[in-house]
């Protein structure tokens, strides 16, 4: 799976993400991003992502004052499988 497909599938499938902002410069890039939105990540892939970047990891210094429910409770980090794809 390409990194763009992984990124789109993760963003679209995450319950705390309300929209995925994209910025393609070419039709090929747009087609690639749209294809990524149709992918559904299974629990195994999501577990591997959580192992690489654990939930609650602060990547920016301005994020340290807020801990969303999806970080403190595992259930909100995952939509039901049939709701993970944008298609």
Say how far apart CA 12 and CA 6 lie, in whole Å. 10
Query: Residue 11 has which token pair?
Result: 């963003």
Say how far apart CA 41 and CA 68 lie, in whole Å. 22
Residues of the chain whose pLDDT is less than 70? 61, 63-65, 76, 87
Contacts of residue 11, defined as CB under 8 A and 6 or more positions apart, other chains included, come to 17, 20
On whether the CB atoms of residues 16 and 87 are closer than 8 A, the answer is: no
Say how far apart CA 31 and CA 15 lie, in whole Å. 24
pTM: 0.64
């Amino acid at each position: 799976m390409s990194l763009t497909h992984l990124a789109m599938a993760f963003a679209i499938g995450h319950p705390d993400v309300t929209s995925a902002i994209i910025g393609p410069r070419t039709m090929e890039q747009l087609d690639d991003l749209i294809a990524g939105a149709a992918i559904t990540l299974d629990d195994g892939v999501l577990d591997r992502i959580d192992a690489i970047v654990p939930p609650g990891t602060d990547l920016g210094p301005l994020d340290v004052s807020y801990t969303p429910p999806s970080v403190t409770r595992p259930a909100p980090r995952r939509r039901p499988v049939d709701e993970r794809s944008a298609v």
